Amino acid sequence: MTVLASLSRTRAALLNQAGIKVTRDPARIDETEIKAFNRRKGSEAGVCAMALAEAKALTITARHPRTLVIGADQILNCNGTWLDKPRDRDDARGQLRMLRGQTHELATAVCVARDANVIWHEIQRPRLTMRNFSDTFLDGYIENLSRDDMAAVGAYRIEGRGIQLFERIEGDYFAILGLPLMPLLEFLRGQGELSQ
Amino acid sequence: MTVLASLSRTRAALLNQAGIKVTRDPARIDETEIKAFNRRKGSEAGVCAMALAEAKALTITARHPRTLVIGADQILNCNGTWLDKPRDRDDARGQLRMLRGQTHELATAVCVARDANVIWHEIQRPRLTMRNFSDTFLDGYIENLSRDDMAAVGAYRIEGRGIQLFERIEGDYFAILGLPLMPLLEFLRGQGELSQ
């Protein structure tokens, strides 16, 4: 059994749907401090996402000896500005106004740790371009925001109504949802965790 | 309200999740005859998929005057061989043996018709490469085939365990699931069916 060091329901669902049995054991880490440190250092978003993913995985390996622990994180980077999950509807509206008509990157990191060591990691950087939607469209979108939408950076999920925000999507669908699934599956096969 | 001229639960779900209200009114057409005709003509798979999509949409426009009717179809083309939905588990096993280690194309067509005219269409051709999985893996996969898997050409759904079959996926995720969703949304916005 593999452990997922993340609270994300989407990531757990991605793994379960792919036939991978994981238990969730969310790690509590100080994301704000790690992000602030990486901003001061001038790290690119992918490096910071990986630092967060590794911190999550390493935090809980001690509780799961000789077990593979998956850590993951994602940072939305739009022209150098990094977005967090929206605090409320007004914040969601502000994020979407900022993203409108622009291309942003979803720096998505996944790692696997065992017994205090990171033994594998991968970063993917899908790029998404929002169309120049109208304020009327935005009002309707904000009015119908779900709890799941609010739990996503950028306040969108492309597997839902969020797809209407976009004019162009480049990169792996699973990475956009928060987990570079195919390279992770390949690693797990190599470890004998999945049938070859 | 838009009408979907397809039985596919996946296509209806894709549209509903994206916030598009559609009613389903599946068209009965002679797929075998259309495919045989296109094979004799030497059509490429995308052209034949479009012929099927248009035949479906046009068949039911008479029942829905002044209404947009969406038709869609998909053909799996592996080195010139076109696969249909598997008849049974043995057929599914045979299809997966043929696809193993190969790259295939999912020629995916969508069109919109109104009052006996096709007013818009689009073809996408995602390419998927299956890894060289073992017979043991294949046995386990076939053992756990679901009804939904059996309803798919190639006996896989990448949104489920089917993702474990692949080493490389190129092209739009929604097209792989059976519907080039983003260009369709753009067309529907242009028609005033969706907010701009």
Residues 6+ apart with CB under 8 A from A87: none
The residue whose two tokens read 């205090």 is A116
d(CA A168, CA A147): 25
- Amino acid A79: pLDDT: 97
CA distances from A88 to A104, A125, A142, A149, B188 (A): 21, 26, 10, 11, 30
Residue closest to A103 by CA, chosen among A122, A125, A88, A124: A125
CATH of A2-190, one of 3.90.950.10, 3.40.50.720, 3.30.70.20, 3.40.50.150: 3.90.950.10
ipTM of predicted complex:
0.91
Tell me the mean pLDDT in the region B135-146. 96
- Determine how many CB atoms are found less than 10 A away from the CB of residue B77: 20
The answer to whether B29 and B59 are in contact (CB under 8 A) is yes
Q: Are A58 and A118 in contact (CB under 8 A)?
A: yes
Show residues of chain B in contact with A140, CB under 8 Å: 195
Give pTM, 2 decimals: 0.93
Residues in B lying within 8 Å of A, measured between beta carbons: 17-19, 133-134, 136-137, 140, 144, 159-161, 163-164, 166-169, 172-174, 181-182, 185-186, 194-196
Q: Do B195 and A160 touch (CB under 8 A)?
A: no
User: Which chain A residues are closer than 8 Å to B167 by Cβ?
Assistant: 182, 186
Q: What does the domain layout of chain B look like in residue ranges?
A: 2-190
Closest CA to A126 of A181, A164, A71, A89: A181
A124, A168, B105, A182 alpha-carbon torsion, rounded to 10°: 20
pLDDT one-digit tens code per residue, B49-104: 999 999 999 999 999 999 999 999 999 999 999 998 999 999 999 999 999 999 99
Interface contact B172-A167, CB threshold 8 A: no
- Stretch A76-99: mean pLDDT: 96
Verify whether residue A25 is a known catalytic residue: no
Question: Which segments within A125-196 are labelled E, that is strand?
Answer: 127-130, 166-170
Residue B129 CB neighbour total at 10 angstroms: 15
In the 3-class helix/strand/coil scheme, how is B174-185 assigned residue by residue? HHHHCCCHHHHH
